[in-house]
Amino acid sequence: MGETLDRLPLPPGPNWTNIGAALRASPPTYLLNLFKKYGEIARFKGAFTVYAINNPDCVKNILTSAWPQYSKNTIDYKVISAVFGNGLVTSDGDDWARQRRIMQPVFSSRSVNSFDNVINKTTSALADNWSKQSTHDLIWLDRDMSKITFQVVSRTLFGTNIDHVSDEMIDILDLLNIHPMRLSALLRLFPWIPSPSNKRFLRANRRLDEIVYTLIEEHQLPGACQENIVGRLLAAKDDDSKASLTAEQIRDEVVTLMLAGHETSAVSLTWTFYLLSQHPEIEERLCEELESKLNGAPATSSDLAELSYLKQVVQESLRLYPAVWGVSRRSLDEAILGGYRIPKNSYIAITPYVLHRDPNSWPEPEKFDPGRFSPEQIKSRHSYSYLPFGAGPRTCIGAGMAMLEIQLILAQLLQKFKVIPITDQQIEVEAAVTLKPRHGLKVRLEPRIK
Ligand code: HEM
């Protein structure tokens, strides 16, 4: 086997890359250009060699068929673990399996569908707020979406209303979202270096800890509701030692869910509103569907089966702007992917942003066309050509919750308001941990006449 492997070529790619310039320009754009020039399996060298894998069969192999051969022990997961700690997103091996077992029941479809009431109430409070604005007032849509998704996560998963710290939390979480993708973030691997960015980061992290530890303590008070993630984590026991989780372990899970669970949905909502505003005919068709099925009322989780175009719009928006634009793995062994040799311990980059623009699966890839998600068209494609939520055992635990939340929030707000981005603003994609509008999104609101 070793000998056969040695005879296989390494994937093609440029001899040398100015990695700093590539990261500063935009990593997903660099990876897309690499794909266009070198194909589905490519390699480039910067500070270390990156194997960019965008062939659906190979991606299936890495994420599903041979998943134990690929770990999350990569530099970017190490950097984000400075905030996430050893929570469900960043952990590996037995730790991960145990954490997933504890949390999975809260994300079952039965449990998630029951969140519809809280999501609708939270949305209706925002709608009340919006209806007090005049059509000339400017709203930061990205900010409002962050707030609402943060409130949804804290009310549903943590069974708590922490609105009084939501503005502060969003600022902290936003800083922590951008920070890991800056080059200076690599300094987090050397946290003792007192760079201004490290100092800001440590301050934000300390305040985040204070808020989260208070939340955990409140759940330990007699009479506190235990039917939520924090309750489950507090009750969980180690399979072998029967020991409870430490406060630090619980903190890591809570922070992970706060971060993984709110900004992703918030940016997806923001991009969907933006795309709809740029495609009036699609927005109109969607509003007609909402009007005919809901007649002004909020949607419940059981209404969603009837709202097929709404789902297609969201799926297409997640194709063009996948909040998690890239995931990485480390190969634990030598492997063959697409006829190329991938050495042991290689850094593997799988990029939904690129996979979602492969013209073989997506003709006219930059065009916003929800029709791509009709049942017939879905059937005609490789299922690994579309991976907004990843795949395999490490697939997003919150995918069902995210889809529910995004559709319910859109259904309610779109029936009440036309969201109009102001014209003189620059719309630029920023690849932080999530794919976000770099300068935010400023909009005006027009109530829809009934
Ligand atoms: C549109 C919204 C969302 C997107 C696009 C998204 C995307 C993803 C992706 C691509 C992964 C896989 C990462 C990898 O394989 O390396 C992932 C994992 C994860 N996501 Fe999401 N996510 C979203 C919403 C949520 C929500 C609402 C929650 C929870 C409240 C959540 C919690 C998690 C967790 C805990 C993991 C790690 C799962 C594991 O490794 O077992 N996500 N997400």
What is the rounded distance in angstroms from the CA atom of residue 438 to the CA atom of residue 450? 35
- The secondary structure of 323-377 as a DSSP string is SS--EEEEESS-EEETTEEE-TT-EEEE-HHHHTT-TTTSSSTTS--GGGGSHHH
Give the three-class secondary structure for 195: coil
Q: Is the pLDDT of residue 183 over 90?
A: no
Q: What is the pLDDT of residue 166?
A: 78
Q: How far is the CA of 260 from the centre of ligand 1 (A)?
A: 6
- Give the ligand 1 atom nearest the CA of 262: 27
Q: Locate 126 and state its tokens.
A: 């925002």
Q: What is the pLDDT of residue 450?
A: 59
| CA proximity to 147, closest of 177, 116, 126 | 126
Tokens 């709110």 appear where? 262
| 196-211: pLDDT as tens digits | 767 777 888 888 899 8
Mutation test of ligand 1: which of 72, 348, 396, 401 has the most ligand atoms closer than 8 Å to its C-beta?
396
Q: Locate 111 and state its tokens.
A: 């449990």
Confidence of residue 23 (pLDDT cuts 50, 70, 90): low
| CA proximity to 431, closest of 79, 82, 28 | 28
What mean pLDDT, rounded, does the chain reach?
89
What is the rounded distance in angstroms from the CA atom of residue 441 to the CA atom of residue 427? 8
| CA proximity to 316, closest of 351, 350, 283 | 283
What is the rounded distance in angstroms from the CA atom of residue 135 to the CA atom of residue 71? 51
- Give the ligand 1 atom nearest the CA of 395: 12
Q: Locate 438 and state its tokens.
A: 């770099």
pTM of structure: 0.94
- Give the ligand 1 atom nearest the CA of 392: 15
Q: How far is the CA of 396 from the centre of ligand 1 (A)?
A: 4
Confidence of residue 337 (pLDDT cuts 50, 70, 90): very high
CB distance 158 to ligand 1 below 6 Å: no
Backbone angles phi, psi at 437, to 5 degrees: -70, 120
Mutation test of ligand 1: which of 122, 264, 317 has the most ligand atoms closer than 8 Å to its C-beta?
264
What is the rounded distance in angstroms from the CA atom of residue 22 to the CA atom of residue 30? 6
Please measure the distance between the N-terminal and C-terminal CA atoms of the chain and give it in whole angstroms: 70
- Count H helices, E strands: the chain? 18, 12
Among 47-61, 107-121, 199-213, 358-372, the minimum mean pLDDT is found in 199-213
Q: Locate 39 and state its tokens.
A: 């194909």
Q: Locate 374 and state its tokens.
A: 């009709």
Residue at 418: amino acid letter: K
What's the sign of the alpha-carbon dihedral 236, 238, 242, 247? negative
| 318-336: pLDDT as tens digits | 999 999 999 999 999 999 9
Residue of the CA atom closest to atom 17 of ligand 1: 396
Q: What is the pLDDT of residue 227?
A: 75
Q: Looking at the DSSP assignment, which residues form a beta bridge with residue 45?
A: 49
Q: Is the pLDDT of residue 192 over 70?
A: no
Domains and CATH numbers, the chain: 2-447 (1.10.630.10)
What is the rounded distance in angstroms from the CA atom of residue 324 to the CA atom of residue 395? 12
Confidence of residue 45 (pLDDT cuts 50, 70, 90): confident
Please tell me the total number of residues recorded for the chain in this structure: 450
Strand order through the sheet with 41-45: 41-45, 49-53, 347-350, 327-331, 70-71
Q: For the chain, what is the radius of gyration of the CA atoms?
A: 22
Q: Is the pLDDT of residue 189 over 50?
A: no
Helix (H) or strand (E) holding 142: helix 141-156
Q: What is the pLDDT of residue 186?
A: 46
Q: Is the pLDDT of residue 184 over 50?
A: no
Share of the chain above pLDDT 90, in %: 65
Residue of the CA atom closest to atom 9 of ligand 1: 389
What is the rounded distance in angstroms from the CA atom of residue 122 to the CA atom of residue 147? 10
| 296-309: pLDDT as tens digits | 999 999 999 999 99
